[in-house]
Amino acid sequence: MPMARLDKLRIAQPIGFVKRFLNTKVDLGKYDPTQVGLMNENCIAVNENDHVTGQISKMECHLNENGPPLHRAFSLFLFNSNKELLMQKRASSKITFPGFYTNTCCSHPLFCEREMDDTDALGIKKAAQRRALYELGIPEEQLPISLMQYITRVHYKAPSGELWGEHEIDYVLFAQQDVKLNVNKNEVSEVQWVSLENLQDFMDKCMISGTPLTPWFQLITKTQLRNWWSNLHRLNDLCDHKNITRF
C-alpha cells in the first residue's frame, strides 16, 4: 500500500479510536502482562469487502462491546514432509481463547507498510512469518515467504467469553516444510503433528478431554480443510482470491 494512502488512513482513524477507548473500562490487571502489552499493537480495520478503513488497537478490535470491529487476520497451516499438520494449544496466558487447540499459527498483520502489501497477500505472509518465529521459534529461513500459499479468505465472528471476541477477515495460508521448533510458552502450551487420517480422532479426543477447538479452525475444517489437505500437490488449482466465504 502506498505511503501516502497509509498516512491518510492513519489520520482518519484516531478520533473514533480515542472515543471508543475512553468509553472502555477493562481491568487488565488480572491478565498476563506480556499479553496485555501486545494489546497495544495496531491491527488493520477493514470493511466486509476487505478494504482497509484505518488502524485499530488489538485490544479495541477484540472487545465484544465494540462489535467487535472487523479486522484482518491470518491462519497458517504448516505441514511437514509426511503431510502432517502442526497443531498448537494456545497458552493459558492468552487473553482470547486460552487453552484452545488450533492450527499452526493464527494472528494479525499490523498496520504498517510491510504487512499491508496486498500483492499476492505478501504483507499477510510477512506477518505469518513474524508470528511463526515469535510463537513457535521457526526461523525465517525455514519458513520463507516463497513457501507460503495464499488459499482464500473467510469472514467469521465468534465470542471468547462475555468480554472478548473475534470478528475477522481471515487469510488462509498453507506451507509445507520440515522445521525446528522452539516454542514460546507464553503463547503456546503444547504442539502436535496430526495426519489427515487422524484428524477426526484428534478432534474427538479434544472434545472428550474438554479441550476446545478455536471457532475459526472448526469452521475451516467443516468446509474446505480436508479437500485442501488432500491436494497439497495442486493447491494452485484450488485457490480462490476473488471471493470471501462468509460464516
Q: In the chain, where are the structural domains located?
A: 3-232+239-246
Q: How confident is the model at residue 139 (pLDDT cuts 50, 70, 90)?
A: very high
Q: Say whether pLDDT at 222 is over 90.
A: yes
Q: Say whether pLDDT at 6 is over 90.
A: no
Label residues 107-139 b or e (16+ Cβ within 10 Å = b): bbbbbbeebbbeeebbbbbbbbbbbbbebbebe
pLDDT tens readout for residues 82-91: 999 999 999 9
**Looking at the domain that runs over 3-232+239-246, which CATH code has it been given?**
3.90.79.10
pLDDT number for residue 16: 39
Identify whether the C-beta of residue 69 lies closer than 8 Å to the C-beta of residue 43: no
Q: Say whether pLDDT at 15 is over 50.
A: no
CA angle 87, 90, 93 (to 5 degrees): 165
Identify whether the C-beta of residue 124 lies closer than 8 Å to the C-beta of residue 72: yes
Active-site positions read: 106, 168
**What pTM does this model have?**
0.90
Length of the chain: 247
